[in-house]
Structure 1
């Protein structure tokens, strides 16, 4: 790369803080490479608050040692690290066993140096790495994202500054460890978790289910959690997506979601009475998206005639619901009756969007049914399978 003279390098006239902000959007290897552009750039990369080692694949020992040396040199070049992103895939199991202890050391280092945003993925071919326990006592951490790890061996969690938590493909010992993790995040605002599994299927006691409180939480996405999650802990959210079959049990009490305006529900075989019961507990709901699956992927699994219009109309239908989305629509009688029920009672509904299979003909069923809202549009979108 040829050198650029100071007279021609207009970007170099920008303040250091602006240049470092620009460099923070690059992978760290690219950021370091800018040091040869001109004298103005030689040391700027050292002040970039973001270290980004993303999409790294290590397939031989030479590449492994070269990468390790690079990371250590970058870490030791600065005292303050605001963001640390690491995504490593080890092609060789021996390299993984050799390299993961180093990754743990890097994470420990940034935790000790005031990291605020941490994003981790460590991929291997024959085992699942353990979650670095040092993270769970990081007082500066604001955003934590991790994937593909085992969470075991921790007894206490103190994440007093954490506002956003996202994780998936995580294996816990039991559901209590999941609740312990969340309980250690007192100001958590945004939670996204999916594809969680547990070594033990022990059920929680009533006291354990009632003890979790996430009062600051405004957004929650619990897709494919494979556990019964305490719904009461989510009652202050404004945006919520859950797989209702996994999270909810028939004996559970559904709390009132007074702040909830945007709801997504995924269900295996629509349970109509449950759906209406959920709507009754969301008095201010404005947007709802309902998606369904079947027990083994066949249409025959879906009950057709189990719908009867409830006597009680939920408040959200009467006063607030503006958008209703019905996804994976199969055209079963129960689905059509539910859609008609929404149209007949949603007074301020603006749009009903239905995503169905390509050959499904339901226009006549819905376009001419009674509508409480004079401005509602029914949009049917065919989706090729």
Structure 2
């Protein structure tokens, strides 16, 4: 039996090897295209058939290799067309050591479709890059500068990612975008050299923008963020810098994540507040909204806003209770609400002015963190079909305070007969849904997946601060 078993096992191994050997070269090169080029080259020692197979792989992916390796790989590369060319240069090397212009020319001559340059130092980009007719996806990281004039034409480009790049002037970004007639996806992160960030395109469908404050730089300009993208269906904005934000019509938009964390001194608080509220009003056609506001909105500007969200079914809100009241009043089809009351400056809860039965007629799920019990009371008393409410209480509450808090809310009147009431400690609440963003390709990604370093500033060691620190360490221990 043992001999028979060993013989059968050997046959299975041989059969597996034969199956791999029988695969056509096109399949094997496709498999190798998922590897970095240095790993693809290493397969040449497997067998005679594999010796030059890597040279036919339509992908060249270099990550920190030296100049000699890259030059030799390009010299021996045989395939006539390069689908993907990725170049990540090590920051320990001077950019003078790398013939970037020559390598870029090589990719363009091979009719490259996907080009990813991550240089880790600010280096001038070859101008021929901006006239490549075959590019479909272009990603630039830590390089520049994006030109403000001259020959720029990318007729096939559909995806453009600009991360920590330099711009010759404010006109550089709109000039580049206008030269991409079929652009559908635009991602801009860590804008460093623009005063006015102007994004205008009739074709963009997915837009991600980070316009953030850097504590190590001084700012004295009137920073502006302007968006004119009528075909947009997904929007992700992180704005911590602009004094004015505005947008054209967004009638096609269905999902958005908007984070405004601007705590800097404004030239005019009223004008700034009004621009933020008018921008939010532009999102009126949306179905799913995540709104994170940690900025001062003056009451006088708020009273003039007219927010209307008749298509909104899911709302994740990190803001003061004025926004919660407004959304409950204007979003009549809301079904799911996640609410985290901003603790910076607590605003007194004001009930919506319209009849509550009509406002909350579809609300089924609520999760909220607030110190204002009147908000909880109002929702329980008026949500007619509410199925579940999760009330999150503060981690700093002692046992007696927590007991009183739970007893008081449990005694509130419930309009819905099927409503379940649950209580969760803030440290145990899974509020990832408030921070998680969706990529344009539909996949979701939590920021803490790649978190390596956490810096806590202005910590004095209070009980509450220590509890938060313990929570952060516990939730991120696997990746820190």
CA distance in 1, matches of 2:273, 2:345: 18
Choose from 214, 225, 231 the match for 2:247: 231
The DSSP-based 3-state class of the residue aligned with 1:222 is: strand
Tell me how far apart the structure 2 counterparts of residues 171 and 365 of structure 1 sit (CA, whole Å). 56
Structure 2 match to 1:193: 188
| Partner-residue secondary structure (3-state), 1:309 | coil
Mapped pair 1:177 → 2:172: yes
User: After superposition, what is the alpha-carbon deviation per residue over 1:310-350, rounded to whole angstroms, capped at 9, x for unaligned?
Assistant: 42599x97577777776xx6x554xx766777777777777
Q: What is the Cα deviation at residue 122 of structure 1?
A: 0.8
Q: Any conservation in 2 of the 1:355–1:382 contact (CA below 8 Å)? A: yes
Q: Secondary structure at the match of 1:196?
A: coil
Instruction: Give 1:71 deviation, angstroms.
Output: 4.3
Specify which of 131, 142, 151 is matched with residue 137 of structure 1.
131
Matches within 5 A, 1:1-385: 8-54=17-63, 56=64, 64-73=66-75, 76-92=77-93, 95-99=94-98, 102-124=99-121, 128-155=122-149, 157-199=152-194, 201=195, 213-224=228-239, 226-227=241-242, 228-232=244-248, 235-245=251-261, 249-252=272-275, 253-254=278-279, 256-257=282-283, 260-269=286-295, 271=297, 280-291=307-318, 302-311=344-353, 331=370, 333=372, 358-359=395-396, 380=424, 382-383=426-427, 384-385=471-472
For 1:71 and 1:342, the matched residues in 2 are separated by 65
Q: Is the CA contact (8 Å cut-off) linking 1:166 and 1:192 kept in structure 2? A: yes
Q: Deviations over 1:98-126 (max 9, x none)?
A: 32xx22432333234332222221114xx
Aligned to 1:296: none
SS of the residue corresponding to residue 308 of structure 1 reads: coil
Which gives a bigger RCO, structure 1 or 2 (Cα 8 Å, sep 6+)? Answer: 1
Q: CA deviation at 1:80?
A: 0.5
Distance in structure 1 (CA, Å) of the matches to 2:420 and 2:158: 38
Larger radius of gyration: 2
> What is the deviation of 1:13?
0.9
Counterpart-to-counterpart distance in 2, 1:71 and 1:354: 59
Counterpart CA distance in 1 for 2:355 and 2:174 is: 35
* 1:83 to partner: Cα distance: 1.2
SS in 2 for 1:146: strand
Secondary structure of the residue that 1:289 maps to in structure 2? strand
Q: Cα RMSD (Å) of the superposition?
A: 4.6
* CA 1:138–1:354: 2 relative to 1, 3 Å: farther
Is the Cα–Cα contact under 8 Å of residues 288 and 325 in structure 1 kept in the other structure?
A: no
Alpha-carbon distance, 1:49 to partner: 1.9
- Where does the alignment leave 5 or more consecutive residues of structure 2 unmatched? 1-12, 201-223, 263-270, 321-340, 428-470, 473-480
- Aligned mates of 1:380, 1:97 — CA distance in 2: 57
Structure 1 residue 131 displacement after superposition: 4.5
**How many residue pairs align between the two structures?**
351
In 2, Cα distance between equivalents of 1:183 and 1:319: 45
